[in-house]
Amino acid sequence: MIHSLFLINASGDIFLEKHWKSVVSRSVCDYFFEAQERATEPENVPPVIPTPHHYLISVLRHRIYFVAVIQSEVPPLFVIEFLHRVVDTFQDYFGVCTEAAIKDNVVVVYELLEEMLDNGFPLATESNILKELIKPPTILRTMVNTITGSTNVGEQLPTGQLSVVPWRRTGVKYTNNEAYFDVVEEIDAIIDKSGSTITAEIQGVIDACVKLTGMPDLTLSFMNPRLLDDVSFHPCVRFKRWEAERILSFIPPDGNFRLLSYHVSSQNLVAIPVYVKHNITFREGSSQGRFDLTLGPKQTMGKAVESVLVSSQLPRGVLNANLNPSQGTYTFDPVTKLLTWDVGKINPQKLPSLKGTMNLQAGASKPDENPTINIQFKIQQMAISGLKVNRLDMYGEKYKPFKGIKYMTKAGKFQVRT
């Protein structure tokens, strides 16, 4: 399956290589570099690249290309999914997954990769098991290790791989037993010029942070489970129970994990929480364009729209923009032509606006396309679909855990066409 892995940074240096079978020369990456050169943007590098003897499958995350070398037929998603899992694991271990972090922890990285694949086939990818095998580095542990000569490698051999619940390690102990669930919903929408919604859908996830002693067995029920249209679960969720009763029943992994992700059925109309009034015009023959943007809240059920960030890719002809925000700050990058406006919170009494002029290249004809506006925002304490958790119960353990549920709505890919 996966033969080798190369990590390539933004400037095209291979800074880590790992081979699970015989060694593949790093010159194989030349094909990748070729493809990279052809692509105008880093994202445009095709994920699957054939070379005469190998196939390169790559993912790009955190400005690092993870390039896997494949020698024979394998489902590409298998490799892609695995590479993403590797990145997730790194992130889990080092907090961030940057070139520097990987270089600093190269030994741990190597140990991890060694455990995750055997002969190119995934072996242990569950973060709980890995953490039993290899302790995540912390500053304290690094200090202690240097003094005592002890190591990051777990002394105890892991039991998780053989246990009944492979995703949970045994012997977990906490003084404060807590279980937090975040219901986060994202609105993906395309709004057309006139303000009508072309497409809008809600995707949600429930992320959990469970720190409970022992082997708790949790059930989570919803007030309105019918809202959930298409769901995918963490392996811990008992599927049959969901089928039969629409109840999430599971023995949670220890720590942070994504319990489920869902799609809200398309029958439900999606409430769009913000509106945009825009007037972006370029006049023929003039080297100036007008830019006028106003944001306002809409259907937010009284909750404040926060952390609003507007970004827009202005046409190539725009040289500069002289804008005046009523609140927040804006930046315009004359090279990438990217305009970003950090609005902050929308005050319904005084709607934020951004007005001014854009300077065009002298003599250039007017751009025939108006830019698309991407909006990010957050609304706390509300799940826009109306999903509500009914109750959370714990079985199997005696103590009483502290439980918390938080709702949040965010913009996913929220675009306004102008």
Q: Which lies closer to another protein via its Cβ, residue 176 or residue 243?
A: 243
Q: Closest distance between another protein and the C-beta of residue 161, in Å?
A: 6
Q: Which residues contact 41 (CB under 8 A, 6 or more apart)?
A: none
Q: Which lies closer to another protein via its Cβ, residue 167 or residue 330?
A: 167
Q: Which lies closer to another protein via its Cβ, residue 73 or residue 350?
A: 73
Q: Which lies closer to another protein via its Cβ, residue 35 or residue 304?
A: 35
Tally Cβ neighbours within 10 Å of residue 153: 12
Q: What is d(CA 416, CA 418) in angstroms, rounded to the nearest whole number?
A: 6
Q: Which lies closer to another protein via its Cβ, residue 177 or residue 415?
A: 415
Q: What is d(CA 83, CA 350) in angstroms, rounded to the nearest whole number?
A: 47
Q: 């995918």: which residue's tokens?
A: 232
Q: Closest distance between another protein and the C-beta of residue 280, in Å?
A: 13
Q: Closest distance between another protein and the C-beta of residue 323, in Å?
A: 20
Q: What is d(CA 205, CA 26) in angstroms, rounded to the nearest whole number?
A: 39
Strand partners, 310: 341, 375
In DSSP notation, 355-385 reads: EEEEEEPTTPPPPSSPPEEEEEEEEET--TT
Q: Which lies closer to another protein via its Cβ, residue 57 or residue 208?
A: 57
Q: Which lies closer to another protein via its Cβ, residue 201 or residue 254?
A: 201
Question: Is residue 392 within 8 Å of 220, Cβ to Cβ?
Answer: yes
Q: Closest distance between another protein and the C-beta of residue 54, in Å?
A: 9
Q: Which residues contact 251 (CB under 8 A, 6 or more apart)?
A: 165, 168, 215, 216, 217, 218, 236, 396
Q: Which lies closer to another protein via its Cβ, residue 96 or residue 301?
A: 96
Angle, helices 106-116 vs 76-94, to 10°: value is: 140
Q: Closest distance between another protein and the C-beta of residue 200, in Å?
A: 9
Q: What is d(CA 292, CA 278) in angstroms, rounded to the nearest whole number?
A: 6
Residue 242 in 3-state DSSP? helix
Q: Closest distance between another protein and the C-beta of residue 275, in Å?
A: 19
Q: Closest distance between another protein and the C-beta of residue 358, in Å?
A: 15
Q: Which residues contact 197 (CB under 8 A, 6 or more apart)?
A: 189, 190, 191, 270, 272
Q: 């200090």: which residue's tokens?
A: 143
Nearest to 183 by CA among 393, 402, 346, 410: 410
Question: Is residue 100 within 8 Å of 94, Cβ to Cβ?
Answer: no
Q: Closest distance between another protein and the C-beta of residue 244, in Å?
A: 6
Q: Which lies closer to another protein via its Cβ, residue 155 or residue 349?
A: 155
Q: Closest distance between another protein and the C-beta of residue 213, in Å?
A: 19
Q: Which lies closer to another protein via its Cβ, residue 130 or residue 297?
A: 130
Q: Closest distance between another protein and the C-beta of residue 318, in Å?
A: 11
Give, for 281, the enclosing helix (H) or strand (E). Answer: strand 274-282
